Amino acid sequence: MRRLMALLAALATALGLVALAGPAATAAAGCRVEYTVAGQWPGGFQAGVRITNLGDPLNGWTLTFTLPDAGQKVVQGWNATWSQSGSTVTAVGTEGNRSLATGASVDAGFIGAFTDANPAPTGFALNGVACTGSADGTTPPGTGDDGTPVGINGRLHVCGVHLCNQYDRPIQLRGMSTHGLQWFSQCYNDASLDALARDWKADLLRIAMYVQEDGYETDPEGFTRRVNSLVDEAEARGLYALIDFHTLTPGDPNYNLEHAKTFFASVAARNAAKDNVIYEIANEPNGVSWAAIKQYAEQVIPVIRAADPDAVVIVGTRGWSSLGVSDGSDESEILADPVNADNIMYAFHFYAASHKDNYRTTVSRAASQLPLFVSEFGTVTATGDGEVDRESTTAWLNLLDQLKISYADWNYSDAPEGAAAFKPDTCSGSDYSSDNVLTESGALIKSRISTPDDFPTS
């Protein structure tokens, strides 16, 4: 739908790291370390270390790890400058490989000696950050069943027509969408995200990254960093992060195909080890055929799958993601020619004051045959403005609850429009929790989202 405003704010993000090594290494988010023993003989061995950067681009890298047995020593190495102090080994990138782009790998290795035993190294860290699954070297909230949405449900997948959790049980996520990051970045800070997780009790943060309209195409690296930063912020609060490639004008997603490939290759590589990431590859295709949308999806999804083979991907649909209803069609064209990919869902968007019974009838029918995700909806008209239609909004949310269809409301900002959750100037302060900062739309949606979740675990 059409939006308003203009204000740019780009924030840097801390580097998140992962390690996947031999049996003693711990999997985490941000980098991957594959440790292999190529050969072993009495008292000696040859080891290889492949480092893959899943975080932001590096202009220099230092890998450290611990050799667990006192008799293990590095004798000589290659493709890095190797040193050892006690049990700690350090490998520093050389002139030829010191730069590591997101998703890039470097191979190094060494000849080692041992006396009694040769266990795999432990404690891999890149540039001083422990590979534990977070940007600061601590175990992030949302890891394990800590009562948060991610902690309870873990990595999600599509089963039949439902979004399912780690227990293979259908679930419904309820949350909020940001407004355009180029305009309302100031609304997404520690206080507002804490309120979303704790007071709103949301499950999901949709990160709306516009491509045009002063968005991604003006600063690809800056917007990618900001998206990654919000993914980390959501993870730290146990929220799912829906990365929205917010294409709107022009409506044919193929116009942004190369941008999409570049962006999703980067964010998928960087966030592949996280359990909380969902990808939305085209916000609202419009003025374009289903065949063209499908063609786009079947070129972008493999880019994501190359780095993140298990994540859920949401595909936009015709007529501003209305399953074609706004173009006089319906779900039948998708059923006749579905996207050739697994673990995907189809987007449906509605604005309650504009889209009523005939749209609800389509969703009710389509939901028995297609996995649907309402990645954007509003309580007002399709412009994003106007009066709140409480009756239609309530009818929609009751239907989505009944069908266990996940949703994200537009929008968690203080924009001067009817769909905004907060009154103007809220984001210049620190109060995102009290009732007096909420608009009519915000109060209505918060009252629905903050009711207890039903997350089955058996």
Q: Over the stretch 42-91, which tens digit does the pLDDT of each residue have?
A: 888 888 887 877 777 889 999 898 888 889 999 999 899 999 999 889 99
Give the DSSP letter string of 268-293: HHHHTT-SSEEEE--S---SS-HHHH
Of 284, 331, 333, 417, which is the active-site residue?
A: 284
414 vs 66, 211, 407, 424, 439, CA distance in Å?
Answer: 49, 21, 20, 5, 9
Vertex 339, ends 312 and 245: CA angle to 5°?
50
Q: Are residues 126 and 153 in the same domain?
A: no
Structural domain harbouring 298: 149-449
Smallest CA-to-CA distance from 357 within 299, 396, 316 is with 396
Note whether residue 392 is domain-resident.
yes
The residue-averaged pLDDT of 201-205 equals: 98
* Residue 26 predicted with pLDDT over 60: no
> At 155, is the pLDDT very low, low, confident or very high (cuts 50, 70, 90)?
very high
Which pLDDT score, from 0 to 100, does residue 18 have?
A: 30
Token duo for residue 426: 């809220």
Question: At 250, which CATH number?
Answer: 3.20.20.80
Higher-pLDDT residue of 103 and 151 is 151
38 burial type by CB count under 10 A (0-12 exposed, 13-18 middle, 19+ buried) = exposed
Mean pLDDT of the chain: 88
Q: Are residues 406 and 262 in the same domain?
A: yes
Q: Are residues 434 and 289 in the same domain?
A: yes
Of 235, 280, 333, 376, which is the active-site residue?
A: 376
> At 332, is the pLDDT very low, low, confident or very high (cuts 50, 70, 90)?
very high
The residue-averaged pLDDT of 122-146 equals: 61
Query: What is the number of domains present in the chain?
Result: 2
Q: Are residues 295 and 350 in the same domain?
A: yes
Q: Are residues 120 and 166 in the same domain?
A: no
Is 284 one of the annotated active-site residues of the chain? yes
Token duo for residue 165: 């959790």
Q: Are residues 71 and 205 in the same domain?
A: no
Q: Are residues 96 and 176 in the same domain?
A: no
Note whether residue 4 is domain-resident.
no
Note whether residue 3 is domain-resident.
no
Note whether residue 238 is domain-resident.
yes
Q: Are residues 125 and 154 in the same domain?
A: no
What percent of the chain has pLDDT above 90? Answer: 73
Which pLDDT score, from 0 to 100, does residue 25 have?
A: 31
**CB-based contacts of 160: which residues, under 8 Å, 6+ apart?**
371
Q: Which of 10-19, 270-279, 359-368 has the lowest mean pLDDT?
A: 10-19
Is 376 one of the annotated active-site residues of the chain? yes
Question: At 94, which CATH number?
Answer: 2.60.40.290
State the alpha helices, DSSP H only, in 95-207.
149-153, 181-184, 190-198
**CB-based contacts of 395: which residues, under 8 Å, 6+ apart?**
352, 356, 360
Q: Is this structure's pTM higher than 0.95?
A: no
Note whether residue 143 is domain-resident.
no
Vertex 423, ends 375 and 410: CA angle to 5°?
5
Q: How many other CB atoms sit within 10 Å of the CB of residue 198?
A: 12
Vertex 77, ends 73 and 78: CA angle to 5°?
165
Which pLDDT score, from 0 to 100, does residue 169 have?
A: 96
